[in-house]
């Protein structure tokens, strides 16, 4: 079972620390506001996962103490209550949306396979196994309508990929690499036909591989000295922001602006878990984390 993180205030680049941690000196258009953390309640046993399928819409998922997935949503004016989506799962759930009122949810089952459930705008489908034998929580991205790409770390410590083309799953294929033991991968898409995948290697550096619509590029090192699973978010075309907890327990950030990567910068803090970040529009980022009270906390 995933143990609950013990950090009240997790954040992405430019987001303000709470609970007495120092504020970062560099803020940008994606920054949150000071002292604007709110509790969304719940008693959860994992860090959260967040997704947006439309403007001013947020859906939040986490693993409960009963090993089921729990769900809460923001409809533009208020948060709904927590609801159980069932399942007996082993990892933090990952959520993705490829269109309005569509959510696909993935998690690692107790059998180490990937399990999938989806919302079609009317009801939730049942849990289905996508097979595989993984040793990390899966990560999914949508790069076009009815198109999904799923990534996870296999028992060989390599990154594995499976794709949905609108009609069928492709089956698992290896993207290689050697991921740091106990770590997963992060992925994002900022345009149809574009995929960016990130993982921490055994050297603690951040490694990156990308699909340009025709072929996969090779793995490249982006340096750094990270201890956590990376997190990545894209709030507009050709923009990526990647975060990870460093070996100094501080949060570190590196960004892609469409032409080059910025240098690594420390945002400080003393962190023990990665944040979940989601964007529902340019310049907007919502960040969620589990607090020391095991509730979900939110900043925006």
Looking at residue 278, what is its pLDDT? 79
Asked if residue 17 belongs to a domain, the reply is no
Print the domain residue range for 224.
38-299
Distance of alpha carbon 173 from alpha carbon 266, whole angstroms: 35
Asked if residue 30 belongs to a domain, the reply is no
Looking at residue 295, what is its pLDDT? 65
Residues of the chain with pLDDT under 70: 1-37, 41-44, 268-275, 287, 289-292, 294-299
Asked if residue 52 belongs to a domain, the reply is yes
Cβ atoms 154, 110 nearer than 8 A: no
Looking at residue 44, what is its pLDDT? 64
Looking at residue 20, what is its pLDDT? 28
Asked if residue 174 belongs to a domain, the reply is yes
Give 39's Cβ-side CA count (13 Å radius).
12
CATH of the domain at 110: 2.120.10.70
* Closest C-alpha to 91, from 63, 111, 64: 63
Asked if residue 189 belongs to a domain, the reply is yes
Looking at residue 271, what is its pLDDT? 63
pTM (predicted TM-score): 0.78
- Secondary-structure breakdown of the chain: helix, strand, coil percentages, each rounded to the nearest 5: 0, 45, 55
Asked if residue 9 belongs to a domain, the reply is no
* Closest C-alpha to 137, from 103, 176, 175, 109: 109
Cβ atoms 76, 56 nearer than 8 A: yes
Asked if residue 56 belongs to a domain, the reply is yes
Asked if residue 25 belongs to a domain, the reply is no
Number of domains in the chain: 1
């Amino acid at each position: 079972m995933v143990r609950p993180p013990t950090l009240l205030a997790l954040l992405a680049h430019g987001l303000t620390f709470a609970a007495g941690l120092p504020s970062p000196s560099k803020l940008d258009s994606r920054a949150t506001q000071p002292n604007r953390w709110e509790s969304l309640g719940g008693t959860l046993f994992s860090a959260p996962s967040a997704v947006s399928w439309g403007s001013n819409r947020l859906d939040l998922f986490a693993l409960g103490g009963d090993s089921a997935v729990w769900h809460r949503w923001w409809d533009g004016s208020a948060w709904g209550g927590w609801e159980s989506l069932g399942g007996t799962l082993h990892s933090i759930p990952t959520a993705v949306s490829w269109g309005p009122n569509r959510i696909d949810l993935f998690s690692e089952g107790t059998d180490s396979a990937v399990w999938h459930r989806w919302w079609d705008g009317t009801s939730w489908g049942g849990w289905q196994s996508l097979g595989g034998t993984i040793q990390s929580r899966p990560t999914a991205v949508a790069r076009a309508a009815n198109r999904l790409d799923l990534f996870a770390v296999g028992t060989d410590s390599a990154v594995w990929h499976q794709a949905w083309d609108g009609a069928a799953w492709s089956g698992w294929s290896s993207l290689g690499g050697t991921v740091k033991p106990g770590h997963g991968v992060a992925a994002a898409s900022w345009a149809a036909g574009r995929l960016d995948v990130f993982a921490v290697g055994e050297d603690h550096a951040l490694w990156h591989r990308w699909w340009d619509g025709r072929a996969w590029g090779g793995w490249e090192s982006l340096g750094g000295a990270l201890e956590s699973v990376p997190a990545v978010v894209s709030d507009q075309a050709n923009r990526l922001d990647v975060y990870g907890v460093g070996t100094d327990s501080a949060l570190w950030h590196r960004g892609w602006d469409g032409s080059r990567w910025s240098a690594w910068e420390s945002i400080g803090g003393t962190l023990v878990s990665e944040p979940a970040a989601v964007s529902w529009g340019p310049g907007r980022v919502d960040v969620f984390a589990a607090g020391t009270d095991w509730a979900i906390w939110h900043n925006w």
